[in-house]
């Protein structure tokens, strides 16, 4: 289980957020553009530090301001898939995947190379370099590389954002199979309700750097206002409406 309780001021923007995510399944971190989603994910990954708070994964402190704990990213056992694939251009697909495996501490590899390649359908791509891959293929390789570091948690920050609709529908089914297939909890950032509906078991609704609501997606989904959001694109207006509904 991941427990997050953080505060951070960045410029004029303040984050004060607390939530937990379960040992398995997909938890969507959902909110309009600028709500603080990436900032929070970066704190979990260790790419930036909260001003204060605690981040704990399976009882292991990744960050604790009072105890002076701030583990570097490579010690956190967290895989990160960004909006753009960020593959190493000079390495083949196989080289990129093996790089992920080398990041896992010795004796802690539990994700199998062939299983990942099969599940993501990237076997035919192994000898290619990233320049010869489509956007969707690159993202599948990036997911594979993140998985192969055998993480305790997979962070995905709008992994479909740079893809057109066809490529999105090519990658989405792979993501929904991941969490079950590898028993790795996923924290999935998006501002698109259409993606969240297909993927999320749990939801953390973020607004202005704070958590407006959180819980099982099914429970929040049954709210009339969330039903009205279906088919909507960008979440800002709809999220605002949902908060009114939750508060009433």
Ligand X SMILES: Nc1ncnc2c1ncn2[C@@H]1O[C@H](COP(=O)(O)OP(=O)(O)OP(=O)(O)O)[C@@H](O)[C@H]1O
Enumerate binding residues for ligand X (CB under 6 A): 10-11, 13, 31, 33-39, 191
Count other C-beta atoms under 10 Å from residue 165's C-beta: 8
Identity of the residue, 10 or 169, whose beta carbon is nearer to ligand X in the bound complex: 10
| Cβ atoms 55, 62 nearer than 8 A | yes
Identity of the residue, 14 or 52, whose beta carbon is nearer to ligand X in the bound complex: 14
| Shortest Å, Cβ 9 to ligand X | 9
Helices (H) and strands (E) in the chain, counts: 9, 11
| Shortest Å, Cβ 52 to ligand X | 17
| Cβ atoms 3, 163 nearer than 8 A | no
Q: Report how far residue 207's alpha carbon sits from residue 212's, in angstroms, rounded to the nearest whole number.
A: 6
Identity of the residue, 13 or 88, whose beta carbon is nearer to ligand X in the bound complex: 13
Identity of the residue, 137 or 158, whose beta carbon is nearer to ligand X in the bound complex: 158
| Shortest Å, Cβ 43 to ligand X | 10
- Strands in 52-57's sheet, in edge-to-edge order, are 13-21, 2-10, 52-57, 60-64, 69-70
| Shortest Å, Cβ 45 to ligand X | 13
């Amino acid at each position: 289980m991941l427990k997050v309780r953080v505060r951070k001021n960045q410029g004029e923007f303040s984050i004060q957020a607390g939530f937990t995510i379960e040992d398995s399944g997909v938890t969507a971190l959902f909110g309009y553009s600028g709500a603080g989603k990436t900032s929070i994910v970066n704190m979990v990954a260790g790419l930036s530090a909260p001003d204060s708070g605690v981040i704990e994964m399976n009882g292991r402190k990744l960050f604790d301001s009072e105890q002076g704990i701030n583990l570097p990213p490579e010690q956190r056992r967290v895989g990160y898939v960004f909006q753009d694939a960020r593959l190493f251009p000079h390495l083949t697909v196989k080289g990129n995947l093996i790089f992920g495996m080398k990041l896992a501490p010795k004796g802690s590899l539990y994700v199998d190379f062939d299983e990942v390649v099969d599940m993501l359908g990237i076997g035919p791509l192994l000898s290619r370099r990233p320049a010869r891959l489509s956007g969707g293929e690159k993202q599948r390789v990036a997911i594979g590389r993140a998985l192969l570091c055998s993480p305790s948690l997979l962070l995905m920050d709008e992994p479909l954002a740079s893809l057109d609709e066809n490529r999105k529908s090519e990658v989405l089914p792979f993501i929904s199979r991941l969490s079950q297939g590898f028993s790795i909890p996923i924290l999935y950032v998006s501002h698109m309700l259409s993606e969240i509906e297909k993927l999320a078991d749990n939801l953390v609704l973020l607004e202005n750097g704070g958590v407006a609501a959180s819980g099982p997606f099914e429970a929040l989904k049954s709210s009339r206002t969330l039903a009205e959001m279906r088919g909507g694109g960008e979440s800002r207006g709809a999220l605002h409406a949902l908060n009114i509904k939750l508060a009433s």
